[in-house]
């Protein structure tokens, strides 16, 4: 089973006292990075929320946003006059220096620390069970989305593996002919070169040259390893856990064997097959960038 690193889950909870909204978004990242936004009075629960995230997600950037609104409590937010005054004084000084007009008051209200929520620890403790439940449900929704996306990407990966496998089978059939072609060309070339001389070349000499060439272009080991990697890749696709890191490593091994086959097999038909395999490996690499 594969899990996409991109997903979204949101939950809304409302009763007579409060409205709680939780959103969880994930995007690509080689490592796990968790960013949590929540009201100041709930800051003490940030570590608990991160534990919930880490229990569900192992890789990617996770953005968690939590909003809590209480009904009939318009005075819950207040302006910090000391912070606001400091901003205004600095802005006025900068305006005089630069010759700029004063800025309207509403522009300062969005600056950090100007408007604060007057929450209490008791409110946060009372709300925590509901917030925790909402975060858990949002993560479950996120996981459903990620599994669905992961299943679609697994199908694409299997299709590209099938392309590589079919090309390997074709190359395995072509490989023996490479040595035969070299032997025939060598024999014809030698005959042309010594045709008008008294020199002779023994069959043993020809066999020795052909044998040396056969060793240089032998790709049987690469074909065997490539087939083994393909089988292992399919096994990871069927693993109950998402194995993005292991698949990344296997893709590097696939690419290495394909490149070696291309460099060793001195044959046009095989070169064309190698190009198709390289294209499939590159598609696999792109897909895996979004797999946990």
pLDDT at 158: 96
| For residue 74, pLDDT beyond 60 | no
pLDDT at 196: 65
| For residue 249, pLDDT beyond 60 | yes
Q: What is the pLDDT of residues 116-150, one digit of tens each?
A: 655 555 677 888 899 999 999 999 999 999 999 99
pLDDT at 124: 78
pLDDT at 140: 97
pLDDT band per the 50, 70, 90 thresholds, residue 70: confident
Mean pLDDT score of the chain, rounded to an integer? 84
CATH topology of domain 150-288: 1.20.120
Q: Is 5 exposed, middle or buried (0-12, 13-18, 19+ CB in 10 A)?
A: buried
Count of other CB atoms within 10 angstroms of residue 180: 11
pLDDT at 90: 80
| For residue 77, pLDDT beyond 70 | no
SS3 per-residue string spanning 98-166: HCCCCCCHHHCCCCCCCEEECCCHHHHHHHHHHHHHHHHHHHHHHHHHHHHHHHHHHHHHHHHHHHHHH
| Minimum mean pLDDT range among 102-106, 226-230, 271-275 | 102-106
Angle between helices 244-264 and 121-194 (to 10 degrees): 10
Annotated domain spans of the chain: 7-74+121-146, 150-288
CA distances from 251 to 91, 171, 215, 230, 270 (A): 55, 19, 27, 9, 21
Q: Which whole number is the average pLDDT over 230-253?
A: 94
| For residue 27, pLDDT beyond 70 | yes
Percentage above 70 pLDDT, the chain: 76
Q: What is the pLDDT of residues 150-201, one digit of tens each?
A: 999 999 999 999 999 999 999 988 887 665 665 656 555 655 656 666 666 6
What is the Cα–Cα distance from 274 to 168, expressed in whole angstroms? 9
Specify which of 12-26, 46-60, 175-189 reaches the highest per-range mean pLDDT. 46-60
pLDDT band per the 50, 70, 90 thresholds, residue 87: confident
DSSP, res 197: S
| For residue 236, pLDDT beyond 60 | yes
Domain 7-74+121-146 has CATH 3.30.230: yes
What is the Cα–Cα distance from 12 to 100, expressed in whole angstroms? 45
pLDDT at 11: 96
Q: Which whole number is the average pLDDT over 77-102?
A: 75
What is the Cα–Cα distance from 182 to 265, expressed in whole angstroms? 11
pLDDT at 42: 87
| For residue 54, pLDDT beyond 90 | yes
Residues 6 or more apart from 233 whose CB is under 8 A from it?
157, 161, 247, 250, 251, 254
């Amino acid at each position: 089973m594969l899990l996409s690193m991109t997903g979204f889950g949101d939950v809304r909870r409302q009763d007579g006292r409060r409205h709680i909204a939780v959103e969880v978004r994930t995007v690509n990242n080689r490592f796990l990075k968790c960013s949590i936004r929540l009201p100041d009075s709930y800051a003490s629960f940030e570590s608990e929320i991160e534990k919930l995230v880490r229990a569900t997600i192992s890789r990617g950037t996770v953005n968690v946003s939590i909003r809590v609104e209480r009904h009939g409590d318009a005075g819950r937010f207040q302006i910090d006059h000391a912070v606001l005054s400091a901003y205004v004084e600095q802005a006025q000084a900068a305006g005089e220096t630069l010759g700029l007009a004063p800025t309207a008051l509403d522009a300062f209200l969005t600056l950090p620390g100007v408007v604060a929520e007057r929450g209490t620890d008791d409110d946060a403790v009372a709300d925590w069970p509901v917030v925790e439940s909402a975060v858990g449900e949002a993560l479950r929704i996120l996981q459903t989305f990620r599994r669905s996306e992961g299943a679609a990407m697994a199908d694409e990966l299997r299709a590209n593996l099938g392309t590589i496998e079919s090309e390997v089978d074709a190359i395995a059939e072509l490989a023996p002919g490479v040595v035969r072609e070299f032997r025939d060309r060598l024999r014809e070339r030698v005959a042309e070169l010594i045709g008008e001389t008294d020199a002779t070349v023994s069959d043993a000499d020809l066999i020795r040259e052909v044998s040396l060439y056969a060793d240089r272009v032998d790709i049987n080991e690469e074909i065997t390893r490539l087939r083994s990697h393909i089988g292992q890749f399919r096994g990871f696709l069927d693993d109950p856990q998402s194995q993005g890191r292991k698949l990344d490593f296997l893709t590097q091994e696939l690419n290495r064997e394909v490149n070696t086959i291309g460099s060793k097999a001195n044959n046009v038909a095989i070169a064309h097959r190698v190009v198709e395999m390289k294209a499939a490996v590159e598609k696999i690499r792109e897909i895996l960038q979004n797999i946990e």
